[in-house]
Copies of this chain bind each other. A is one copy, B any other.
Amino acid sequence: MPRSLEDAPTTVPVRLGERSYDIAVADGGWDALPAFLKPALERSWAGRGCLKALILTDDHVAKLPYPGLVARALGSLGIEATTSVVPHGEASKGLATAAGLYEELVATAADRHTLVVAVGGGVIGDLGGFVAATFARGLPLLMVPTTLLAQVDSSVGGKVGVNLPKVKNIVGSFHQPIAVWIDVASLNDLPDRELRCGLAEVVKYGVILDAAFFDSLEADAEAILGRRPESLRRIVARSCELKADVVSKDEREETGLRAVLNFGHTIGHAVEATAGYGGAFQHGEAVAVGMVAESRLAERLGWVGRDFTTRLTRLLDRFGLPTSIAGLDPGPLLESMARDKKNQGGRIRLVLPRRMGHVELTDAAETADLKNLLDDLCGPAPL
Protein backbone atom coordinates (compact mmCIF):
# COMPACT_ATOMS: atom_id res chain seq x y z
CA MET A 1 0.00 0.00 0.00
CA PRO A 2 1.57 3.36 -0.99
CA ARG A 3 1.98 5.84 1.82
CA SER A 4 2.02 9.62 1.62
CA LEU A 5 5.23 11.45 2.46
CA GLU A 6 3.76 12.80 5.71
CA ASP A 7 3.47 9.24 6.96
CA ALA A 8 7.13 8.43 6.48
CA PRO A 9 8.91 8.09 9.82
CA THR A 10 11.16 10.91 10.99
CA THR A 11 14.73 9.64 11.24
CA VAL A 12 17.12 10.76 13.97
CA PRO A 13 20.75 9.69 13.45
CA VAL A 14 22.83 8.77 16.52
CA ARG A 15 26.45 9.37 15.53
CA LEU A 16 28.83 7.00 17.32
CA GLY A 17 31.41 6.12 14.66
CA GLU A 18 31.15 2.46 13.70
CA ARG A 19 28.35 2.06 16.27
CA SER A 20 26.14 4.74 14.67
CA TYR A 21 22.46 3.95 14.24
CA ASP A 22 19.15 5.56 13.35
CA ILE A 23 16.02 6.15 15.42
CA ALA A 24 12.78 6.12 13.42
CA VAL A 25 9.89 8.09 14.92
CA ALA A 26 6.67 6.95 13.26
CA ASP A 27 2.94 7.29 13.79
CA GLY A 28 1.70 3.82 12.91
CA GLY A 29 3.26 3.12 9.51
CA TRP A 30 4.62 -0.32 10.44
CA ASP A 31 4.79 -1.23 6.76
CA ALA A 32 7.93 0.94 6.68
CA LEU A 33 9.73 -1.10 9.37
CA PRO A 34 11.29 -3.73 7.06
CA ALA A 35 12.77 -1.06 4.76
CA PHE A 36 14.12 0.80 7.81
CA LEU A 37 15.54 -2.32 9.45
CA LYS A 38 17.15 -3.95 6.40
CA PRO A 39 20.05 -1.47 5.93
CA ALA A 40 20.57 -1.39 9.73
CA LEU A 41 21.06 -5.16 9.73
CA GLU A 42 23.37 -4.96 6.74
CA ARG A 43 25.52 -2.23 8.28
CA SER A 44 26.20 -4.35 11.37
CA TRP A 45 28.56 -7.33 11.34
CA ALA A 46 26.26 -9.39 13.54
CA GLY A 47 23.11 -8.24 11.76
CA ARG A 48 24.31 -9.36 8.34
CA GLY A 49 23.88 -13.05 8.97
CA CYS A 50 20.64 -12.67 10.94
CA LEU A 51 18.09 -15.46 10.42
CA LYS A 52 16.52 -15.65 13.88
CA ALA A 53 15.21 -13.23 16.48
CA LEU A 54 14.08 -13.29 20.10
CA ILE A 55 11.36 -10.72 20.81
CA LEU A 56 11.28 -9.79 24.49
CA THR A 57 8.22 -8.12 25.97
CA ASP A 58 6.17 -8.04 29.19
CA ASP A 59 2.71 -9.41 29.95
CA HIS A 60 1.09 -5.97 29.53
CA VAL A 61 2.61 -5.17 26.16
CA ALA A 62 2.08 -8.75 24.99
CA LYS A 63 -1.67 -7.96 24.83
CA LEU A 64 -1.02 -5.03 22.46
CA PRO A 65 -0.36 -5.40 18.73
CA TYR A 66 3.33 -4.34 18.82
CA PRO A 67 5.14 -7.68 19.39
CA GLY A 68 3.08 -9.18 16.56
CA LEU A 69 3.82 -6.25 14.26
CA VAL A 70 7.54 -6.68 14.93
CA ALA A 71 7.34 -10.42 14.23
CA ARG A 72 5.54 -9.76 10.93
CA ALA A 73 8.14 -7.20 9.81
CA LEU A 74 10.95 -9.63 10.70
CA GLY A 75 9.16 -12.42 8.84
CA SER A 76 9.08 -10.32 5.67
CA LEU A 77 12.88 -10.07 5.96
CA GLY A 78 13.18 -13.85 6.30
CA ILE A 79 13.89 -13.67 10.04
CA GLU A 80 12.09 -16.21 12.19
CA ALA A 81 11.11 -14.78 15.59
CA THR A 82 10.18 -16.41 18.87
CA THR A 83 8.61 -14.26 21.61
CA SER A 84 9.47 -14.35 25.28
CA VAL A 85 7.12 -12.70 27.80
CA VAL A 86 8.25 -11.71 31.29
CA PRO A 87 6.09 -10.25 34.08
CA HIS A 88 5.79 -6.45 33.88
CA GLY A 89 7.51 -4.30 36.47
CA GLU A 90 10.91 -3.67 37.99
CA ALA A 91 11.18 -7.12 39.62
CA SER A 92 11.82 -8.65 36.18
CA LYS A 93 14.94 -6.52 35.75
CA GLY A 94 17.33 -8.84 37.57
CA LEU A 95 19.95 -11.53 37.04
CA ALA A 96 17.41 -14.33 37.55
CA THR A 97 15.26 -13.19 34.61
CA ALA A 98 18.38 -12.63 32.52
CA ALA A 99 19.51 -16.21 33.28
CA GLY A 100 16.15 -17.53 32.09
CA LEU A 101 16.48 -15.58 28.83
CA TYR A 102 20.00 -16.93 28.27
CA GLU A 103 18.57 -20.45 28.58
CA GLU A 104 15.85 -19.60 26.04
CA LEU A 105 18.50 -18.36 23.63
CA VAL A 106 20.41 -21.62 24.08
CA ALA A 107 17.21 -23.63 23.59
CA THR A 108 16.51 -21.86 20.28
CA ALA A 109 20.11 -22.49 19.15
CA ALA A 110 20.82 -18.75 19.02
CA ASP A 111 24.15 -17.74 17.51
CA ARG A 112 26.06 -14.45 17.29
CA HIS A 113 23.69 -13.27 14.54
CA THR A 114 20.44 -13.75 16.48
CA LEU A 115 18.61 -10.43 16.81
CA VAL A 116 17.21 -9.44 20.21
CA VAL A 117 14.19 -7.13 20.01
CA ALA A 118 13.05 -5.31 23.16
CA VAL A 119 9.38 -4.29 22.84
CA GLY A 120 8.16 -2.36 25.88
CA GLY A 121 9.16 0.22 28.46
CA GLY A 122 12.42 0.90 30.27
CA VAL A 123 12.53 -2.42 32.14
CA ILE A 124 12.26 -4.42 28.92
CA GLY A 125 14.78 -2.21 27.12
CA ASP A 126 17.34 -2.41 29.92
CA LEU A 127 16.88 -6.16 30.46
CA GLY A 128 16.76 -7.09 26.77
CA GLY A 129 19.71 -4.83 26.09
CA PHE A 130 21.73 -6.48 28.87
CA VAL A 131 20.99 -9.97 27.59
CA ALA A 132 21.92 -8.84 24.06
CA ALA A 133 25.14 -7.28 25.37
CA THR A 134 26.28 -10.40 27.18
CA PHE A 135 25.03 -13.46 25.26
CA ALA A 136 27.79 -14.83 23.01
CA ARG A 137 29.67 -11.58 23.77
CA GLY A 138 27.10 -9.39 22.05
CA LEU A 139 24.01 -9.93 19.89
CA PRO A 140 22.49 -7.30 17.58
CA LEU A 141 19.71 -5.36 19.31
CA LEU A 142 16.59 -3.61 18.02
CA MET A 143 14.78 -1.34 20.48
CA VAL A 144 11.04 -0.79 20.14
CA PRO A 145 10.18 1.42 23.13
CA THR A 146 6.46 1.77 23.81
CA THR A 147 6.43 4.25 26.73
CA LEU A 148 7.29 7.94 26.44
CA LEU A 149 10.03 7.62 29.06
CA ALA A 150 11.69 4.75 27.18
CA GLN A 151 11.30 6.55 23.86
CA VAL A 152 12.98 9.79 24.94
CA ASP A 153 15.42 8.43 27.48
CA SER A 154 16.49 4.81 27.87
CA SER A 155 16.33 3.90 24.16
CA VAL A 156 19.05 6.45 23.34
CA GLY A 157 22.59 6.08 24.63
CA GLY A 158 23.31 2.39 24.93
CA LYS A 159 23.03 2.05 28.71
CA VAL A 160 21.69 -1.41 29.46
CA GLY A 161 21.59 -3.31 32.72
CA VAL A 162 19.80 -5.07 35.54
CA ASN A 163 19.29 -4.39 39.25
CA LEU A 164 20.77 -6.14 42.27
CA PRO A 165 18.28 -6.66 45.12
CA LYS A 166 19.44 -3.47 46.82
CA VAL A 167 20.99 -1.38 44.03
CA LYS A 168 19.32 -0.28 40.79
CA ASN A 169 21.10 -0.49 37.41
CA ILE A 170 24.42 -1.52 38.98
CA VAL A 171 25.10 -4.52 36.70
CA GLY A 172 25.25 -3.61 33.05
CA SER A 173 27.21 -2.34 30.13
CA PHE A 174 27.16 -0.01 27.16
CA HIS A 175 25.64 -1.78 24.16
CA GLN A 176 24.36 0.29 21.26
CA PRO A 177 21.35 -1.01 19.32
CA ILE A 178 21.54 -1.38 15.55
CA ALA A 179 18.28 0.62 15.28
CA VAL A 180 15.39 2.04 17.33
CA TRP A 181 11.80 1.98 16.07
CA ILE A 182 9.36 4.30 17.85
CA ASP A 183 5.64 4.34 17.12
CA VAL A 184 4.04 7.26 18.96
CA ALA A 185 0.66 5.58 18.48
CA SER A 186 1.77 3.23 21.27
CA LEU A 187 1.48 6.21 23.63
CA ASN A 188 -2.31 6.04 23.26
CA ASP A 189 -2.21 2.87 25.36
CA LEU A 190 -0.23 4.58 28.12
CA PRO A 191 -1.87 5.52 31.48
CA ASP A 192 -1.86 9.31 32.11
CA ARG A 193 0.60 9.03 34.96
CA GLU A 194 3.17 7.25 32.75
CA LEU A 195 2.76 9.81 29.98
CA ARG A 196 3.41 12.59 32.51
CA CYS A 197 6.54 10.83 33.78
CA GLY A 198 7.93 10.85 30.25
CA LEU A 199 7.08 14.54 29.90
CA ALA A 200 9.33 15.36 32.88
CA GLU A 201 12.34 14.15 30.85
CA VAL A 202 11.09 16.02 27.78
CA VAL A 203 10.93 19.27 29.79
CA LYS A 204 14.43 18.52 31.06
CA TYR A 205 15.85 18.48 27.50
CA GLY A 206 14.45 21.98 26.95
CA VAL A 207 15.97 23.32 30.16
CA ILE A 208 19.42 21.80 29.69
CA LEU A 209 19.93 22.18 25.94
CA ASP A 210 17.29 24.03 23.94
CA ALA A 211 15.40 27.16 25.04
CA ALA A 212 13.33 27.22 21.83
CA PHE A 213 12.19 23.65 22.53
CA PHE A 214 11.10 24.71 26.02
CA ASP A 215 9.12 27.61 24.44
CA SER A 216 7.45 25.16 22.08
CA LEU A 217 6.43 22.86 24.95
CA GLU A 218 4.69 25.81 26.64
CA ALA A 219 2.95 26.76 23.39
CA ASP A 220 1.95 23.20 22.53
CA ALA A 221 1.06 21.84 25.99
CA GLU A 222 -2.62 21.23 25.22
CA ALA A 223 -1.92 19.28 22.05
CA ILE A 224 0.75 17.20 23.84
CA LEU A 225 -1.59 16.31 26.71
CA GLY A 226 -4.27 15.59 24.11
CA ARG A 227 -1.78 13.13 22.56
CA ARG A 228 -1.95 14.73 19.13
CA PRO A 229 0.28 12.52 16.95
CA GLU A 230 2.14 15.41 15.25
CA SER A 231 2.96 16.94 18.63
CA LEU A 232 4.08 13.63 20.10
CA ARG A 233 6.29 12.90 17.07
CA ARG A 234 7.84 16.33 17.30
CA ILE A 235 8.69 16.17 21.02
CA VAL A 236 9.94 12.56 20.84
CA ALA A 237 12.13 13.24 17.79
CA ARG A 238 13.59 16.45 19.23
CA SER A 239 14.25 14.82 22.63
CA CYS A 240 16.05 11.91 20.93
CA GLU A 241 18.06 14.36 18.82
CA LEU A 242 19.14 16.36 21.87
CA LYS A 243 20.10 13.28 23.86
CA ALA A 244 21.86 11.70 20.86
CA ASP A 245 23.98 14.81 20.48
CA VAL A 246 25.17 14.61 24.10
CA VAL A 247 25.76 10.85 23.94
CA SER A 248 27.79 11.11 20.72
CA LYS A 249 30.20 13.44 22.54
CA ASP A 250 30.59 11.26 25.67
CA GLU A 251 29.45 7.73 24.86
CA ARG A 252 30.75 6.06 28.00
CA GLU A 253 30.13 8.89 30.46
CA GLU A 254 33.81 9.68 30.85
CA THR A 255 34.33 13.34 29.98
CA GLY A 256 31.63 14.75 32.25
CA LEU A 257 29.69 16.09 29.25
CA ARG A 258 27.00 13.45 29.60
CA ALA A 259 26.44 14.70 33.15
CA VAL A 260 24.18 17.53 31.86
CA LEU A 261 21.52 14.85 31.40
CA ASN A 262 21.53 14.58 35.19
CA PHE A 263 19.74 17.89 35.77
CA GLY A 264 16.97 17.22 38.27
CA HIS A 265 18.33 13.76 38.95
CA THR A 266 20.67 14.43 41.89
CA ILE A 267 17.86 15.56 44.18
CA GLY A 268 15.42 13.46 42.11
CA HIS A 269 17.28 10.20 42.80
CA ALA A 270 17.49 11.11 46.48
CA VAL A 271 13.72 11.66 46.56
CA GLU A 272 13.12 8.37 44.74
CA ALA A 273 15.44 6.42 47.05
CA THR A 274 14.12 8.06 50.22
CA ALA A 275 10.44 7.76 49.36
CA GLY A 276 11.11 4.17 48.22
CA TYR A 277 11.29 3.00 44.63
CA GLY A 278 7.86 2.54 43.06
CA GLY A 279 6.44 4.40 46.04
CA ALA A 280 5.05 7.91 46.33
CA PHE A 281 7.22 9.22 43.49
CA GLN A 282 7.69 7.48 40.16
CA HIS A 283 10.97 8.27 38.40
CA GLY A 284 9.59 11.08 36.20
CA GLU A 285 7.81 12.63 39.17
CA ALA A 286 10.99 12.56 41.25
CA VAL A 287 12.84 14.22 38.36
CA ALA A 288 10.16 16.93 38.21
CA VAL A 289 10.48 17.85 41.90
CA GLY A 290 14.26 17.44 41.59
CA MET A 291 14.40 19.98 38.74
CA VAL A 292 12.39 22.51 40.74
CA ALA A 293 14.55 22.02 43.86
CA GLU A 294 17.78 22.29 41.86
CA SER A 295 16.46 25.41 40.15
CA ARG A 296 15.85 26.92 43.60
CA LEU A 297 19.45 26.11 44.48
CA ALA A 298 20.62 27.85 41.29
CA GLU A 299 18.62 30.89 42.43
CA ARG A 300 20.44 30.91 45.79
CA LEU A 301 23.79 30.80 43.98
CA GLY A 302 22.65 33.75 41.84
CA TRP A 303 22.78 31.66 38.63
CA VAL A 304 19.13 32.23 37.64
CA GLY A 305 16.34 34.59 38.78
CA ARG A 306 13.20 33.64 40.61
CA ASP A 307 11.25 33.92 37.33
CA PHE A 308 13.23 30.93 35.96
CA THR A 309 11.93 28.56 38.62
CA THR A 310 8.43 30.01 38.33
CA ARG A 311 8.37 29.34 34.59
CA LEU A 312 9.69 25.78 35.03
CA THR A 313 7.20 25.06 37.82
CA ARG A 314 4.31 26.39 35.72
CA LEU A 315 5.06 24.06 32.79
CA LEU A 316 5.51 21.01 35.03
CA ASP A 317 2.23 21.90 36.78
CA ARG A 318 0.50 22.11 33.45
CA PHE A 319 1.79 18.64 32.61
CA GLY A 320 0.28 17.39 35.86
CA LEU A 321 3.66 16.75 37.49
CA PRO A 322 4.47 17.33 41.18
CA THR A 323 6.76 20.26 41.96
CA SER A 324 7.09 20.17 45.74
CA ILE A 325 8.90 17.97 48.26
CA ALA A 326 7.14 19.54 51.25
CA GLY A 327 6.69 16.94 53.98
CA LEU A 328 9.74 14.78 53.12
CA ASP A 329 12.51 14.30 55.69
CA PRO A 330 15.53 16.41 54.62
CA GLY A 331 18.13 14.33 56.52
CA PRO A 332 17.94 11.13 54.44
CA LEU A 333 17.74 13.23 51.24
CA LEU A 334 21.09 14.85 51.99
CA GLU A 335 22.65 11.52 52.96
CA SER A 336 21.48 10.03 49.68
CA MET A 337 22.92 12.97 47.72
CA ALA A 338 26.25 12.49 49.47
CA ARG A 339 26.46 9.04 47.82
CA ASP A 340 25.81 10.36 44.27
CA LYS A 341 28.14 8.96 41.60
CA LYS A 342 29.00 12.45 40.33
CA ASN A 343 30.57 13.55 43.62
CA GLN A 344 34.32 14.10 43.75
CA GLY A 345 36.71 14.73 46.60
CA GLY A 346 33.89 14.53 49.13
CA ARG A 347 31.98 17.45 47.55
CA ILE A 348 28.45 17.07 46.27
CA ARG A 349 28.22 17.91 42.57
CA LEU A 350 25.02 18.94 40.81
CA VAL A 351 23.99 20.08 37.37
CA LEU A 352 22.42 23.54 37.70
CA PRO A 353 20.87 25.96 35.19
CA ARG A 354 22.59 29.20 34.15
CA ARG A 355 19.81 30.23 31.77
CA MET A 356 17.09 28.46 29.78
CA GLY A 357 18.80 25.89 27.52
CA HIS A 358 22.09 25.85 29.43
CA VAL A 359 23.25 23.99 32.55
CA GLU A 360 26.62 23.39 34.20
CA LEU A 361 28.10 20.70 36.45
CA THR A 362 29.23 22.37 39.67
CA ASP A 363 30.34 21.73 43.23
CA ALA A 364 29.75 25.39 44.15
CA ALA A 365 26.99 24.58 46.63
CA GLU A 366 28.26 24.07 50.18
CA THR A 367 26.72 21.19 52.12
CA ALA A 368 25.35 23.76 54.60
CA ASP A 369 23.56 25.63 51.77
CA LEU A 370 22.10 22.35 50.55
CA LYS A 371 20.90 21.50 54.02
CA ASN A 372 19.24 24.91 54.38
CA LEU A 373 17.58 24.53 51.00
CA LEU A 374 16.24 21.06 51.79
CA ASP A 375 15.04 22.20 55.22
CA ASP A 376 13.14 25.04 53.56
CA LEU A 377 11.71 22.95 50.71
CA CYS A 378 10.70 20.05 52.96
CA GLY A 379 8.99 22.35 55.45
CA PRO A 380 5.27 23.09 55.16
CA ALA A 381 4.49 25.01 51.96
CA PRO A 382 3.87 28.74 52.50
CA LEU A 383 0.21 29.76 52.21
Q: Which positions in A face B, CB cutoff 8 Å?
A: 45, 49, 95, 98-99, 102-103, 106, 111-112, 133-138, 159, 161, 164, 166-167, 170-174, 252-254, 341, 344
Contact = CB atoms under 8 A, between A and B. Distances in A.
Contacts of A159: 137
Given A102-B164, A106-B166, A138 B45 contact: no
B173 A137 contact: yes
Contacts of A172: 134, 136-137
A161 B174 contact: no
A134 B171 contact: yes
B45 A254 contact: yes
A125 B164 CA distance: 23
B106 A167 contact: yes
A272 B173 CA distance: 32
A238 to B, nearest CB: 27
Contact of A174 (B98, B138, B171, B253): B138
Contacts of A167: 106
A137 B254 CA distance: 12
A134 B131 CA distance: 12
A133 B138 CA distance: 13
Given A45-B254, A254-B45, A99 B95 contact: yes
B112 A341 contact: yes
A102 B171 contact: yes
Contacts of A45: 252, 254
B102 A341 contact: no
A252 to B, nearest CB: 7
18 contacts: A45-B252, A45-B254, A95-B95, A103-B164, A106-B164, A106-B170, A111-B341, A112-B341, A134-B134, A134-B161, A134-B172, A136-B170, A137-B159, A137-B161, A137-B172, A137-B174, A138-B173, A138-B174
Contact of A171 (B135, B170, B253, B254): B135
A93 B134 CA distance: 15
A144 B99 CA distance: 29
Contacts of A111: 341
A308 to B, nearest CB: 32
A266 to B, nearest CB: 16
A356 B349 CA distance: 60
A311 B112 CA distance: 36
A358 to B, nearest CB: 25
Contacts of A95: 95, 98-99
Contacts of A98: 95
Among A49, A171, A341, chain B packs the most CB atoms within 10 A around the CB of A171
Contacts of A133: 173
A352 to B, nearest CB: 23
A138 B103 contact: no
A170 B112 contact: no
A256 to B, nearest CB: 10
A106 B134 CA distance: 21
Contacts of A136: 170, 172
A78 to B, nearest CB: 14
Nearest to A253: B137
B170 A135 contact: yes
Nearest to A130: B134
A126 to B, nearest CB: 12
Contacts of A254: 45
Nearest to A111: B341
A254 B112 CA distance: 10
